């Protein structure tokens, strides 16, 4: 099939990527500005809140980067494995897959500024593929003679999306990629996006290439700003999973990476905006609970914490009296009094009437 289609790596100029930098300048400036805002907001969090947010974000990213590839992990096990990696107490023992991806997340977080080498990538691959017994090579580049193809559809009518370079040239291709990564003097989003695209076009491993490519993007962004990016990148990519694969496929026959880099930049900025909103949400939670300290009963405090724990998006459709009763166990009349009091204290706002009444965290 590779004789029918012309893939980007078969171009005589491979891997000399080119792009329209003028379409990326505004994205690059926004990324740097928001990185400063995100870091500043992070500094306002209490140490305990920072630890919890770090664990929650890395756990969510581990689950989401795996889900993008169709692998569904146990969230509680991943969370426990992340805590273990930071030397904290754990609630349960994680399976090999959960422990492996958890260690990858924490390694990338802690060692973002370390050099990228063959051995680093081999270690990442061994973590991504922990527990797999169906691969010929784990912790090394692929060696099989058959073509490495990305396909979909039923076996009798496969749709070929991409064919990667042959296994025989993996060492050469990856050495050239690592040299480029070490020497490329490019803006943050451009380097991170090209690293992701270049890596998945080589497709050096039997499995796990997508997860490693996303880890590479996170590493490149963190190195550009000098600290972990705190991004929910895999979360955002998982939300846009189809367009993610479409954007990659649209670039597998061309060395013009402009459209992919625009898609990647938009996605990073959306992830960054979400991360900023999460931190702002936590700061608002702390300020509100501090302001109302000693003025709330246990039911009201429990309900407010539950509303904050849902995240910046809040309860879908708002909090109803029925929700409040379910959360607190209060009687209907008590729930109405509690909710009215929270509105009077400025903790909640109210919309609708009667059965349509809903409550929202005050801005």
Q: Where are the domains of the chain?
A: 8-279, 292-361
For residue 164, give the DSSP letter: P
For residue 271, give the nearest of 8, 40, 27 by alpha carbon: 27
Residue 158: pLDDT band with limits 50, 70, 90: confident
- Phi/psi at 320 (5° precision): -100, 165
Question: How high is the pLDDT of residue 6?
Answer: 85
Q: What are phi and psi of 135, to 5 degrees?
A: -110, 140
> What architecture is the 8-279 domain classified under in CATH?
Orthogonal Bundle (1.10)
H or E stretch including 228? none
pLDDT at site 2: 41
User: Alpha-carbon distance 186 to 258, whole Å?
Assistant: 14
Per-residue pLDDT of 202-250, as tens digits, reads 999 999 999 999 999 999 999 999 999 999 999 999 999 999 999 999 9
Q: What is the torsional sign of CA 145, 149, 154, 156?
A: negative
Quick one: which of 22, 204, 206 has its CA closest to 216? 204
pLDDT digits (tens, 9 = 90+) for 177-210: 999 999 999 999 999 999 999 999 999 999 999 9
- Whether residue 3 is predicted with pLDDT greater than 70 in this model: the reply is no
pLDDT average, residue stretch 138-157: 92
DSSP three-state, residue 346: coil
Q: What is the mean pLDDT of residues 49-53?
A: 91
> Of 24-33, 37-46, 83-92, where does the model show the most confidence?
24-33
**Which region among 38-47, 224-233, 267-276 has the lowest average model confidence (pLDDT)?**
38-47
Burial label for 356, CB within 10 Å (0-12, 13-18, 19+), is exposed
Nearest partner of 232 among 243, 221, 248, judged by Cα: 221
Q: Report whether the peptide linkage leading into residue 110 is cis, meaning its omega lies within 30 degrees of zero.
A: no
- The residues with which 349 forms a beta bridge, in sequence order, are 360
pLDDT per position as a tens digit, 68-77: 999 999 999 9
Q: Where are the alpha helices (DSSP H) in the chain?
A: 25-43, 47-68, 75-85, 96-110, 118-128, 170-183, 188-202, 209-225, 233-239, 241-249, 258-291, 298-309, 321-328, 332-344
Name the 3-class secondary structure at 203.
coil
Torsion of CA 167, 120, 241, 60, to 10 degrees: 150
Q: Is the pLDDT of residue 303 over 60?
A: yes
5/149 Cα distance (integer angstroms): 12
Q: How far apart are CA 100 and CA 138, in angstroms?
A: 13
- Whether the CB-CB separation of 160 and 151 falls below 8 Å is answered with yes
Q: What is the pLDDT at residue 5?
A: 57
pLDDT at 153: 85
DSSP state of 95: P
- d(Cα 258, Cα 204) in Å, to the nearest integer? 23
Residue 348 above 60 pLDDT?
yes
Mean pLDDT, residues 285-306 = 96
pLDDT at 93: 87
Regarding the domain delimited by 292-361, which CATH topology (the fold level of the hierarchy) does it fall under? Arc Repressor Mutant, subunit A (1.10.10)
Query: What gap in Å lies between CA 24 and CA 262, rounded to an integer?
Result: 7
Half-sphere exposure of 190 (CA within 13 A, CB side): 18
The percentage of residues in the chain with a pLDDT greater than 90, rounded to a whole number, is 87
Instruction: Write the DSSP symbol of residue 163.
Output: E
pLDDT of the residue at 176: 98
| Residue 123, pLDDT score | 98
Model confidence at 351: pLDDT above 50:
yes
Average pLDDT, integer, range 293-307: 96
Pick the most confident of 80-94, 108-122, 312-326. Answer: 108-122
Residues comprising the chain, all counted: 363
């Amino acid at each position: 099939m590779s004789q029918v289609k012309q893939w980007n790596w078969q171009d005589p100029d491979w891997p000399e990527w080119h792009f329209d930098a003028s379409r990326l300048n505004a994205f690059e400036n926004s990324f740097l500005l928001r990185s400063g805002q995100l870091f500043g907001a992070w500094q306002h969090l209490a140490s305990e809140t920072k630890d919890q947010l770090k664990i929650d974000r890395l756990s969510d990213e581990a689950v989401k980067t795996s889900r993008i590839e169709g692998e569904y992990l146990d969230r509680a096990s991943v969370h426990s494995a992340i805590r273990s990696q930071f030397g904290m107490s754990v609630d349960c023992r994680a399976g090999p897959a959960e422990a492996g991806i958890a260690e990858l997340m924490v390694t990338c977080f802690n060692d973002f500024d370390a050099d990228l080498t063959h051995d680093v990538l081999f270690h990442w691959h061994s973590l991504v593929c922990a527990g797999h017994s169906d691969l010929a090579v784990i912790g090394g580049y692929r060696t099989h003679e058959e073509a490495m193809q990305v396909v979909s559809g039923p076996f009798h009518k496969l749709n070929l999306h991409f064919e990667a370079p042959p296994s025989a040239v993996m060492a050469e291709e990856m050495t050239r990629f690592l040299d480029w990564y070490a020497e490329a003097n490019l803006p943050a989003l451009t380097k991170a996006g090209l690293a992701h695209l270049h890596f998945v076009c080589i497709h050096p491993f039997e499995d796990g290439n997508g997860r490693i490519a996303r880890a590479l993007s996170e590493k490149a962004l963190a190195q550009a700003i000098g600290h972990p990016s705190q991004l929910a990148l895999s979360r955002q990519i998982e939300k846009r999973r189809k367009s993610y694969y479409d954007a990659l496929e649209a670039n597998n026959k061309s060395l013009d990476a402009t459209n992919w880099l625009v898609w990647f930049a938009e996605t990073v900025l959306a992830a960054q905006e979400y991360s900023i909103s999460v931190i702002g949400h936590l700061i608002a939670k702390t300020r509100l609970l501090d302001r109302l300290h000693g003025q709330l009963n246990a039911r009201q405090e429990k309900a407010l914490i539950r509303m904050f724990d849902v995240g910046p998006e809040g309860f879908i459709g708002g909090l109803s009296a029925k929700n409040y009763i379910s959360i607190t166990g209060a009687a209907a009349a008590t729930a109405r009094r509690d909710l009215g009091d929270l509105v009077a204290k400025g903790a909640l706002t109210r919309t609708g009437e009667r059965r349509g009444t809903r409550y929202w965290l005050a801005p």
